[in-house]
Amino acid sequence: MLTDALLIALLAGLAGVDLFNGLTHFHRPVVMGPLVGLILGDVTTGLLVGGTLELVWMGMVPLAGAQPPNVVIGGVVGTAFAILTKADPKVAIGVAVPFAIAVQGCITLLFTAFSPMMHRCDRMVQELNWRGVERVNYLGISILFVFYFVVAFLPIYFGADAASAMVQKAPTWLLDGLAVAGGMMPAIGFSLLMKVMMKKTYVAYFILGFISVTFLKLPILAVALGALAIALIDFFNSQRADADVTRKPVQPEDAEDGI
Distances in whole angstroms, Cα of residue 22 to Cα of each of 27, 97, 138, 141, 256 = 10, 24, 13, 10, 56
Phi, psi of 249 (to 5 degrees): -70, 145
Inter-residue contact 177 to 46 (CB < 8 Å): no
Query: Rounded distance, CA 74 to CA 232, Å?
Result: 33
pLDDT per position as a tens digit, 45-101: 888 888 888 887 876 766 655 677 888 888 898 888 888 888 777 777 777 777 888
Looking at per-residue pLDDT, the higher value among 98 and 193 belongs to 98
Confidence of residue 169 (pLDDT cuts 50, 70, 90): low
Q: What CA–CA distance (Å, rounded) separates 185 from 84?
A: 22
Residue 241 has pLDDT above 90, yes or no: no
What mean pLDDT is predicted for residues 28-41? 90
Q: Is the pLDDT of residue 246 over 70?
A: no
Say if residue 181's pLDDT is above 90.
no
Computed over every residue of the chain, the mean pLDDT equals 79
Residue ranges covered by each domain of the chain: 2-197, 199-246
Question: Residue 225 — very low, low, confident or very high, per pLDDT cuts 50/70/90?
Answer: very high
Determine the pLDDT at residue 229: 92
Q: Which of 92, 73, 86, 76 is nearest to 39 (CA)?
A: 76
Q: Where are the alpha helices (DSSP H) in the chain?
A: 2-21, 29-40, 43-56, 71-85, 89-114, 116-126, 130-169, 172-197, 203-214, 220-247
CA distances from 241 to 125, 183, 234, 244, 246 (A): 41, 44, 11, 5, 9
Under 8 Å between Cβ of 76 and 12: yes
Which whole number is the average pLDDT over 130-135? 86
Q: Is the dihedral of CA 228, 234, 236, 238 positive or negative?
A: negative
Cα 41 to chain centroid distance, Å, stands at 24
Is residue 35 pLDDT above 90, yes or no?
yes
> pTM to 2 decimals?
0.66
The pLDDT value given to residue 189:
62
87: Cβ contacts below 8 Å, ≥ 6 apart: 81, 95, 167, 175
